């Protein structure tokens, strides 16, 4: 089987995206025009995900790890089971240890090594573990963990995977503006179900601050570039 590792790119962006980034660079993030662009960007990402009415979204300045940490600290409940199949699964565990979030670990090399369990209620996994080249299909994870709600690191999958058929199984997912979305780095993004409890375990990454708000300075040029890509 051929395994393809995705680099932190994209190495190249489209010419239109480069122009959008340049044009959008000299803009204050507090202006009404930018707020409208920001709102359109959030809505479009929710449309791509497949759920506008019952999902919330946060876009923040930072890398995929920023979004990852925000999702874990704001949303992941204690006693969540974590699938560790590479560096990014280990990173999630390190974050949970840092913030004293109780968790259980399942070590594996591929999805074929998982036995599954109907007892798991909260499950965290990396959809595309690029450090090992392993893919954990959501459809397969549902078969293995039928009663679990998922917290998904979609850093290397959002933009190429389809989530429409699995929304009822997903509690939250995180990703970034580059990778599969093929825009420029600089934005960390989290999508989650509105019914979830929010934990205030950190300051910058507290997702409650981002609901209908731009609480901190955001890289406006990255927002302009991302909107160009997804619109």
Digit-by-digit pLDDT tens for the chain (231 residues) are 555 555 555 667 888 998 999 988 899 999 999 999 999 999 999 999 999 999 999 999 999 999 999 999 999 999 999 999 999 999 999 999 999 999 999 999 999 999 999 999 999 999 999 888 899 999 999 999 999 999 999 999 999 999 999 999 999 999 999 999 999 999 999 999 999 999 999 999 999 999 999 999 999 999 999 999 999
Report phi then psi at 169, rounded to 5. Answer: -100, -10
Sorted by sequence, the CB contacts under 8 Å of residue 135 that are 6+ apart come out as 111, 127, 128, 129
């Amino acid at each position: 089987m051929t395994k393809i590792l995705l680099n932190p790119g994209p190495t190249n962006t489209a010419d239109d995206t480069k122009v959008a980034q340049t044009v959008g660079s000299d803009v204050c993030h507090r202006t009404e025009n930018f707020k409208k662009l920001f709102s359109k960007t959030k809505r479009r990402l929710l449309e791509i995900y497949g759920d506008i009415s019952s999902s919330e979204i946060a876009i923040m300045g930072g890398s995929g790890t920023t979004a990852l940490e925000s999702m874990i600290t704001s949303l992941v409940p204690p006693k969540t089971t974590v699938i560790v199949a590479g560096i990014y699964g280990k990173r999630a565990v390190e974050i949970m240890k840092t913030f004293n979030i109780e968790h259980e670990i399942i070590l594996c090399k591929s999805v074929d090594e998982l036995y599954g369990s109907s007892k798991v209620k909260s499950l965290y996994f990396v959809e595309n573990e690029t450090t090992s080249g392993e893919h954990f299909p959501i459809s397969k994870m549902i078969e293995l963990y039928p009663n679990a709600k998922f917290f998904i690191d979609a850093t290397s999958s959002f933009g190429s995977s389809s989530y429409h058929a699995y929304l009822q199984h997903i509690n939250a997912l995180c990703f970034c503006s580059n990778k599969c979305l093929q825009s420029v780095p600089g934005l960390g993004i989290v999508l989650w179900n509105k019914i979830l409890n929010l934990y205030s375990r950190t300051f910058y990454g507290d997702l409650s601050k981002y609901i209908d708000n731009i609480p901190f300075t955001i890289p406006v040029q990255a927002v302009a570039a991302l909107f160009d890509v997804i619109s």
